[in-house]
Amino acid sequence: MPLIQVKLIQDVFTPEEKKELIAKLTDVVVALKGENIRPVTWVTIDDVLSGEWGIGGQSITTEAVHSLIAGKA
């Protein structure tokens, strides 16, 4: 059974956006394998605290992600 695990930096996605992400990721699996797979497709979302995620040796913060999304990075 499909298990999709998503890690996000805390406070970047709203609860509504997370619900939409879960629905759309499930829809992708269903598009590939058929509707019968929907009831057994699991999606989990884990929030990582701001500053506890690193890329290239640098900690990434919630504020940095918001700046990136806004085109300020």
Q: In whole angstroms, what is the distance from residue 68 CA to residue 16 CA?
A: 20
Q: In whole angstroms, what is the distance from residue 60 CA to residue 56 CA?
A: 10
Q: In whole angstroms, what is the distance from residue 50 CA to residue 34 CA?
A: 37
Residue 65 CB neighbours (<10 A) = 19
- Which residue of the set 2, 4, 22, 61 is catalytic? 2
Active site residue 2: yes
Hey, which residues are catalytic here?
A: 2
